[in-house]
Amino acid sequence: MSGLYEYFSARRRRCEELLAARLPSASKPPARLHAAMREACLGGGKRLRAVLAYAAAELCGAQTDAADDAACALEMIHAYSLAHDDLPAMDDDDTRRGRPACHIQFGEATAILAGSGLQALAFAMLAESDLPESRKIKMLQLLAGAVGSGGMVGGQALEMEGEGGDLTAAALETVQHKKTGALICASVQLGAAAAGCGDEKTLTALTRYGRHLGLCFQVVDDILDHGKTETANSVTVLGAKRATEKAGELRDNAVAALAGIENAHRLRGIADFVARRKK
Ligand code: GRG
């Protein structure tokens, strides 16, 4: 497979097909809940987190299928976070991925249940993976750490606590690392864990890459104005010029973290994609 675009498309399609097969059927009861879980998870999205898991696992020498469970689990967690984030009690968004948000289509109660169901299914998929026990436990630990109160959910809570007040650049960065960066960094780490990577140099490099990339992703998201303008973000706190410079620096830092690591060309390309993305 030659270019990054072809690689990204192939892994994205692979994950999409696996998710469609693994999510509970909408014809099986509770049908409305299952339909909402499928709607929240399928039919859109860049599948960046899945592609990162595949690329990291392959860099570590694994076959593509070693990262299938990680890729699906990451995208299910991501879909759960979006379904909950769009609720009126959170960001109150009516659309997601160009369609009515899950709570608009199915109602708030079902959207909450769909997110909860997706989260449980993500962990079940890792626990039931065919990979060796030690790899599964590592993956479960990494994902739980990235998603819980020390990661994504904690970042969302910090953001809500800070709403309406002034946020320092450092405090904003902490929120961004936790809310968005933790799952992106975990994507790379889960890929390495799925491959059974035990090389400290590689693991450290991948973690550094993931942390810089996660922050870069959120800064670019703020520049693209995907967030709500009343919430403090990189543009409101740093200004548009500095935010753009920072996104470039973070991309460079992510790439630099991979120095001396073999077969890192795809992760380097993904860093470029994240920094340059337009959606
Ligand atoms: C409410 C449990 C809970 C968590 C909220 C991650 C998060 C924390 C909320 C997601 C909302 C959001 C817009 C965060 C900003 C960055 C982000 C995750 C954007 C969407 O990710 P993309 O662009 O989405 O990868 P696609 O649709 O491509 O999958």
C-beta of 82 in contact with ligand 1 (< 6 A): yes
Distance CA 14, CA 168 (A): 41
Q: Which tokens hold the place of 191?
A: 């890929």
pLDDT of residue 227: 60
**DSSP string across 162-178:** HTTS---HHHHHHHHII
Distance CA 67, CA 274 (A): 21
Q: How far is the CA of 78 from the centre of ligand 1 (A)?
A: 7
C-beta of 119 in contact with ligand 1 (< 6 A): no
Q: How far is the CA of 84 from the centre of ligand 1 (A)?
A: 10
Q: Atom 20, ligand 1: which residue's CA is nearest? A: 82
Number of domains in the chain: 1
Q: Please compute the mean of the pLDDT values over residues 118-138 and round it to a whole number.
A: 98
C-beta of 221 in contact with ligand 1 (< 6 A): yes
Q: Atom 17, ligand 1: which residue's CA is nearest? A: 180
Distance CA 214, CA 15 (A): 20
Domain that holds residue 263: 2-276
Distance CA 24, CA 28 (A): 7
Q: Which helix (H) or strand (E) holds 123?
A: helix 108-127
218 close to 176: Cβ distance less than 8 angstroms: yes
Q: Which tokens hold the place of 31?
A: 């049908």
Please write the tens of the pLDDT for every residue from 69-115.
999 999 999 999 999 999 999 999 999 999 999 999 999 999 999 99
C-beta neighbour count of 228 within 10 angstroms? 11
**DSSP string across 214-260:** HHHHHHHHHHTT-S-TTS--HHHHH-HHHHHHHHHHHHHHHHHHTTT
Please write the tens of the pLDDT for every residue from 178-224.
999 999 999 999 999 999 999 999 999 999 999 999 999 999 999 99
C-beta of 144 in contact with ligand 1 (< 6 A): no
* Residues contacting 188, CB < 8 A, separation 6+: 52, 53, 55, 56, 206, 207, 209, 210, 213, 267
Bridge partners, residue 99, by sequence: 96
pLDDT of residue 279: 83
pLDDT at 121 over 70: yes
pLDDT of residue 228: 61
Q: How far is the CA of 260 from the centre of ligand 1 (A)?
A: 32
What is the CATH number for 148? 1.10.600.10
C-beta of 129 in contact with ligand 1 (< 6 A): no
pLDDT of residue 229: 62
Bridge partners, residue 100, by sequence: 95
